[in-house]
Amino acid sequence: MAYILLIAMCLFRILWVQAVLPHFSAINGIFILYPVSWTIGAALMALYTWKGKWLGSSS
């Protein structure tokens, strides 16, 4: 689970700053970054909760 948050919050933000931010001329690129990374993190956590094998079997 920590890897999911690490990817969503750290790696994605670093990639965003390196790849997308140079195309913005103002701080708007940073303002867009946070909701996008939160959405990606929430989607990854929901996918992990839905499809992951974290609960185990109930036999």
pTM of this prediction? 0.69
| 11: amino acid identity, one letter | L
pLDDT of amino acid 1 = 63
Confidence of residue 58 (pLDDT cuts 50, 70, 90): low
Confidence of residue 9 (pLDDT cuts 50, 70, 90): confident
| 22: amino acid identity, one letter | P
- Residue 48's closest CA among 11, 17, 2? 2
